[in-house]
Every structure is written in structure tokens, then in C-alpha cells.
């Protein structure tokens, strides 16, 4: 009787261990499934929804990824589970790159609009033919005012882009001067340029210095 009880006890323990192992495997499978499903759901979102909620999406993704990777040790088929996770990682990185490019494009367009208005989307060809003797002073004035208002929010890339636009606008001014630009407007533009140039140089240099410092601090961590 005692032996039978011992055998039954051993069987119950073994069954309990098997059940726990099965539950653990099921939990691992669920976590990996949740991770895959989340990545799939992100892929199905439209670009606008992704970009407007990207920080929350990325935070949730990292939490789901951590769960899935922690589940690898308990997965019944760890090799297959790892392949599934890696495939979803690749899918997510593709979506992330696409989203970041969309964000940059959106921000770039917003920057253009802030400097030149919605009807003058300056492209890579830097075409400023729309600037003439009648509107060039207002273009310069808006350029200087916009910079003054937003200079503390610009990245190094923004400063570089603004520099390119400013130099192209100056080149256009040389042409406009020959097309009848009034001396009054010309003098007003010269005053704006005198105000803008040193301020822009300082802000751009400071922004680059801060970004280099941050990059060094991140590399040291």
C-alpha cells in the first residue's frame, strides 16, 4: 500500500510537472503570437495613423518584443520561435524606416511652408523664379521672422536646409536687382540680412555643438 501511494504520488508529481510545462509552453506560444500579431497590425495601419502615434507604437512594440524574446527559453520549438521573432523584427524595421522617412518628409514640407508659404514648395532644384521685385522684401522678412520664432526647435539638419534656402534666395536677389528692385526695398533687405547672418551662424554652430555632445554621451553609455 505504501509502495502504491509512493508510485501514485510520483505519478501525480510527474503529471503536475508535465502540466506546468505545457502551460509554460502555451504561455510562451501566446507571447510570441501576440508579438507577431502586433507587428502585423502595425503593418496594416495607414501612414498617417502610424506617424501620428509612432512613439506609443514603438514603446508597445518594445514591450511585446521583450515578452517574446523572454518566451524563447520556454518555447516547445525554440528554433522555429526564434525564426518567427526575427522575421517579425525585419518586418517591423521595414515599417519603422518607412515611417521615419514619412515623418522626415512631413517635417520637411512643414519647414518649407513655414518659410515660403503653401503655394511655393521649393524643391531640390531650388527654383525661386516666383520671387520678384514686388515680393522679395516680404519673402526675406518672413524668412527672418520665421527663423527668429522657431530657431530653438531646429535640428542640425534643419539648420543645414535653411542655409541652402537662404543662399538660393540670395542668388535670386542678384537677379531681381537687375529687374528693377527699388533702392528702398534693397536697403531694407540689406538690413534684414545684416541682422540675420550672425544670428544664424551662431545658432547653427551651437546646434551642431550640442548634437555632437549628445552623440558622444550616448556613445559613452
Q: pLDDT by residue (tens digit) across 22-45?
A: 688 888 888 889 989 999 998 888
- Contact call for residues 195 and 144 (beta carbons, < 8 A): yes
Which residue would you say has higher pLDDT here, 10 or 207? 207
Provide the grid cell at 100. Answer: 521615419
Task: State the chain's mean pLDDT as an integer.
Answer: 83
Provide the grid cell at 181. Answer: 528692385
Quote the pLDDT of residue 17: 43
Mean pLDDT of 121-149: 91
Lowest average pLDDT, out of 9-18, 132-141, 172-181, 212-221, goes to 9-18
Sequence-ordered list of residues with C-beta below 8 angstroms from that of 202, at least 6 positions apart, any chain: none
Which residue would you say has higher pLDDT here, 61 or 211? 61
Quote the pLDDT of residue 160: 93
- Rounded CA-CA distance 205/212 in Å is 11
List, as own/partner pairs, every contact residues 137-142 make where C-beta atoms lie below 8 angstroms and the sequence separation is at least 24, other chains included: 137/185, 137/188, 137/189, 139/169, 140/169, 140/189, 140/192, 140/193, 141/192, 142/115, 142/116, 142/117
Quote the pLDDT of residue 19: 45
Provide the grid cell at 115. Answer: 518659410
- CA–chain centroid gap for 108, Å, is 12
Q: Is the pLDDT of residue 147 over 70?
A: yes
Quote the pLDDT of residue 74: 84
pLDDT band at 46 (very low <50, low <70, confident <90, very high): confident
DSSP type of residue 151: G
**pTM exceeding the 0.75 threshold for the entire prediction:** no
Amino acid at each position: 500500500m505504501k509502495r502504491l501511494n509512493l508510485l501514485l504520488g510520483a505519478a501525480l508529481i510527474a503529471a503536475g510537472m508535465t502540466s506546468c510545462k505545457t502551460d509554460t509552453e502555451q504561455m510562451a506560444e501566446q507571447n510570441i503570437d501576440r508579438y507577431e500579431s502586433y507587428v502585423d497590425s502595425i503593418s496594416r495601419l495607414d501612414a498617417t495613423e502610424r506617424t501620428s502615434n509612432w512613439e506609443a507604437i514603438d514603446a508597445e512594440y518594445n514591450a511585446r518584443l521583450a515578452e517574446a524574446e523572454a518566451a524563447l527559453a520556454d518555447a516547445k520549438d525554440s528554433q522555429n520561435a526564434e525564426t518567427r521573432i526575427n522575421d517579425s523584427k525585419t518586418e517591423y524595421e521595414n515599417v519603422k524606416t518607412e515611417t521615419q522617412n514619412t515623418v522626415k518628409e512631413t517635417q520637411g514640407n512643414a519647414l518649407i511652408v513655414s518659410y515660403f508659404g503653401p503655394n511655393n514648395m521649393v524643391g531640390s532644384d531650388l527654383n525661386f523664379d516666383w520671387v520678384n521685385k514686388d515680393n522679395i522684401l516680404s519673402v526675406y522678412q518672413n524668412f527672418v521672422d520665421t527663423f527668429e520664432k522657431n530657431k530653438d526647435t531646429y535640428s542640425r539638419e534643419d539648420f543645414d536646409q535653411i542655409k541652402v534656402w537662404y543662399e538660393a534666395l540670395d542668388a535670386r536677389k542678384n537677379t531681381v536687382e537687375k529687374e528693377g528692385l527699388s533702392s528702398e526695398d534693397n536697403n531694407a533687405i540689406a538690413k534684414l540680412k545684416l541682422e540675420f547672418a550672425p544670428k544664424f551662424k551662431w545658432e547653427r554652430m551651437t546646434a551642431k555643438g550640442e548634437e555632437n555632445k549628445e552623440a558622444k554621451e550616448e556613445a559613452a553609455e
